[in-house]
């Protein structure tokens, strides 16, 4: 707006001097020559300034490289932005504006001098304190003339997607009572991964790796024979994440980042700032789910997850184990939000078909008023399913709510049913609670 205002002022002066040069009498102090020179001056200034600003955006190439498409709360995301001038003319003023939606991502930069056939790069290191999927970009290149009369911009649709995983903290003191499967033969199943348990052999199929080939059998029958493997005889672990919209509560406060944020969400910035931070039960629930998934998958237990996070649509991650399964789970937990409309009791009743005897069902919920899901838990317990519950106390997030004491009553009810139960409150450290 300032550049537009200045340019109109110069245009007005040029028009006025041109009119005065035509209308002013020549015999009065040689005024015609004065105003004619002013007209030439203002006209030349407009033309040179326009061309200067316009051509400053030509001959430029911008690239951005993301160090990794994945980050995690409590760590840093890094990307490198490069502006290359492949023309012979130098660029005296360039402004790079970034429109990323990642909080505290400061990628904008002003370049005051960029010689011809040169490049300028800078690295942006952004702390991640909020899980989610964010877009880095687009960019806008802006240029102006030295007098600030004209301002041009060029949009560059450079976009990168960054997924910020929730924190998955270590649980050194956590040791749940999980049994192995009863009857290895009955409950074993084949897997494409190489394990220590060989189930048998079969003929080679396209796509089988060569390290699966059983050479003695191949030499005996005259064709390629590969080994089949089965998973360890460990009990299934299922995470039931309650994302019903009505049971989750949140409040937003402004927190100084110099202080320690609750529940492992502390991020050290390069300089202290104030930011809006949402204190929400869903963030604690997601952190608990991610931490438990890390605990079991690092110990090679088969683990799956069930949640209803959007209306009545189910999100199911089938049983699997290993780092790939952990990455799959964290990618889901990075974007899951409490938008579901299915109560926990209905979810447990509908998904109980996946629970075999001696399986471990871990329920993570802030539901402290609905006792119907306690009855569903008792049914699972009678079937031989081991159940563990983590209750997120909503009263600690919204003290003026009517949930005060409800979490302890729910915990006492579950303990009476021989269900292991933990209560997680605002400000609690998850490793301390689960130890």
Contact 434, 422 (CB under 8 A): yes
Domain membership of residue 185 (yes or no) is no
Domain encompassing residue 64: 60-165
| pLDDT given for residue 422 in this prediction | 95
Q: Which residue has the higher pLDDT, 222 or 35?
A: 222
CATH code of the domain in which 253 resides: 3.40.50
CATH code of the domain in which 131 resides: 2.60.40.10
* Range in 310-314, 360-364, 369-373, 418-422 the model is least confident about: 310-314
Is residue 96 reached through a cis peptide bond, with omega within 30 degrees of 0 on the bond before it?
Answer: no
Together in a domain, 33 and 129: no
- Rounded Cα distance between 95 and 107, Å, is 11
Domain membership of residue 172 (yes or no) is no
If you write DSSP's letter for every residue of 334-353 in order, what string do you get? HH--SEE---HHHHHHHHGG
Q: Which of 55, 76, 98 is the last residue of a domain?
A: 55
Together in a domain, 29 and 8: yes
- Rounded Cα distance between 176 and 215, Å, is 42
Together in a domain, 403 and 254: yes
**Within 10 Å of residue 123's Cβ, how many Cβ atoms?**
11
Together in a domain, 213 and 342: no
Together in a domain, 333 and 286: yes
Q: What pLDDT, in 10s, does the model give residues 92-143?
A: 889 999 999 998 899 999 998 999 999 999 999 998 888 999 999 999 999 9
Domain membership of residue 391 (yes or no) is yes
Pairing of β 420-424 and β 386-392: parallel
| pLDDT given for residue 223 in this prediction | 87
Together in a domain, 244 and 219: no
Which has the closest alpha carbon to 377: 355, 393, 405?
Answer: 355
Number of domains in the chain: 4
Cβ neighbours of residue 159 under 8 Å, at least 6 residues apart?
Answer: 135, 136, 137, 138
Please check the confidence at residue 232 and state whether its pLDDT lies above 80: no
Q: What pLDDT, in 10s, does the model give residues 2-28?
A: 767 788 888 888 888 888 877 765 544
- Rounded Cα distance between 56 and 48, Å, is 12
Domain membership of residue 177 (yes or no) is no
Together in a domain, 357 and 210: no
Contact 10, 149 (CB under 8 A): yes
Contact 384, 421 (CB under 8 A): no
Domain membership of residue 183 (yes or no) is no
Domain membership of residue 305 (yes or no) is yes
| pLDDT given for residue 10 in this prediction | 86
**Within 10 Å of residue 414's Cβ, how many Cβ atoms?**
23
Instruction: List beta partners, residue 361.
Output: 238, 387
Together in a domain, 247 and 359: yes
Q: Which of 165, 200, 219 is the last residue of a domain?
A: 165
Q: What pLDDT, in 10s, does the model give residues 48-70?
A: 999 989 899 999 999 999 999 99
Together in a domain, 25 and 117: no
| pLDDT given for residue 21 in this prediction | 78
Three-state SS across 62-129?
Answer: EEEEECCCEEECCCEEEEEEEEEECCCCCECCEEEEECCCCCCCCCCEEECCECCCEEEEEEEEEECC
Q: Which of 181, 201, 230 is the last residue of a domain?
A: 230
Q: Which residue has the higher pLDDT, 311 or 363?
A: 363
Please check the confidence at residue 274 and state whether its pLDDT lies above 70: no
Domain membership of residue 66 (yes or no) is yes
User: Torsion over CA of 31, 36, 42 and 47, rounded to 10 degrees?
Assistant: 180
Question: Is residue 320 within a helix (H) or strand (E), and if so which, with residue range?
Answer: strand 313-320
Sign of CA dihedral 23, 24, 30, 36: negative
State whether residue 321 is helix, strand or coil: coil
Supply φ then ψ for residue 408, to 5 degrees: -70, -40
Domain membership of residue 181 (yes or no) is no
Together in a domain, 242 and 298: yes
Instruction: List beta partners, residue 126.
Output: 77
Together in a domain, 281 and 404: yes
Instruction: List beta partners, residue 339.
Output: 310
The pLDDT mean for the chain works out to 84
Give the pLDDT mean for 151-171. 93
Which has the closest alpha carbon to 320: 174, 193, 139?
Answer: 193
| pLDDT given for residue 241 in this prediction | 97
| pLDDT given for residue 243 in this prediction | 96
CA 248 centroid distance within chain: 21
Contact 316, 306 (CB under 8 A): yes
Together in a domain, 37 and 141: no
- Rounded Cα distance between 300 and 231, Å, is 9
């Amino acid at each position: 707006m300032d550049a537009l205002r200045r340019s109109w002022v110069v245009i007005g002066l040029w028009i006025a001097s041109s009119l005065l040069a035509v209308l002013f009498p020549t015999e009065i102090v040689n005024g015609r020559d004065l105003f004619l020179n002013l007209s030439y001056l203002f006209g030349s200034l407009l033309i040179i300034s326009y061309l200067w600003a316009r051509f400053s955006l030509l001959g430029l190439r911008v690239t951005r490289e993301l160090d990794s498409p994945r980050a995690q709360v409590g760590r840093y995301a890094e990307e490198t932005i490069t502006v290359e001038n492949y023309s012979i003319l130098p660029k005296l003023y360039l402004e790079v504006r970034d429109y990323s939606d990642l909080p505290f991502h400061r990628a904008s930069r002003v370049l005051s001098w960029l010689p011809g056939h040169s490049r300028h790069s800078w690295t942006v290191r952004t702390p991640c304190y909020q899980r989610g999927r964010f877009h880095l970009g687009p960019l806008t290149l802006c240029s102006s003339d030295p007098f600030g009369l004209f301002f041009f911009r060029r949009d560059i649709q450079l976009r990168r997607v960054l997924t910020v995983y929730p924190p998955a903290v270590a649980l050194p003191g956590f040791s749940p009572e999980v049994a192995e499967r009863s009857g290895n033969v009955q409950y074993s199943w084949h897997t494409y991964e190489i394990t220590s348990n060989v189930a048998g052999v079969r003929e080679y199929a396209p796509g089988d790796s060569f390290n699966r080939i059983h050479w003695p059998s191949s030499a005996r029958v005259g064709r390629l024979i590969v080994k089949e493997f089965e998973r360890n005889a460990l009990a299934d672990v299922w995470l039931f994440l309650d994302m019903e919209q009505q049971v989750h509560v949140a409040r937003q406060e402004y927190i100084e980042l110099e202080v320690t944020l609750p529940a492992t969400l502390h991020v050290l910035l390069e300089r202290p700032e104030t930011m809006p931070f949402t204190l929400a039960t869903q963030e604690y629930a997601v952190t608990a789910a991610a931490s438990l998934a890390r605990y079991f998958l690092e110990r090679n237990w088969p683990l799956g997850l069930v949640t209803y996070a959007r209306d009545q649509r189910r999100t199911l991650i089938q049983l699997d184990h290993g780092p790939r399964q952990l990455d799959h789970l964290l990618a889901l937990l990075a974007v899951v939000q409490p938008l579901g409309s299915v109560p926990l009791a209905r979810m447990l009743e509908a998904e109980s078909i996946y629970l075999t005897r001696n399986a471990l069902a871990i329920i993570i919920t802030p539901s402290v008023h609905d006792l119907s899901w306690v009855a569903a838990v008792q049914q699972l317990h009678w079937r031989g399913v081991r159940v563990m519950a983590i209750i997120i106390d909503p009263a600690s997030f919204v003290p003026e709510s009517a949930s005060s004491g409800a979490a302890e009553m729910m915990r006492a009810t579950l303990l009476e049913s021989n269900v292991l139960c933990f209560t997680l409150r605002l400000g609690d450290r998850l490793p301390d609670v689960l130890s």
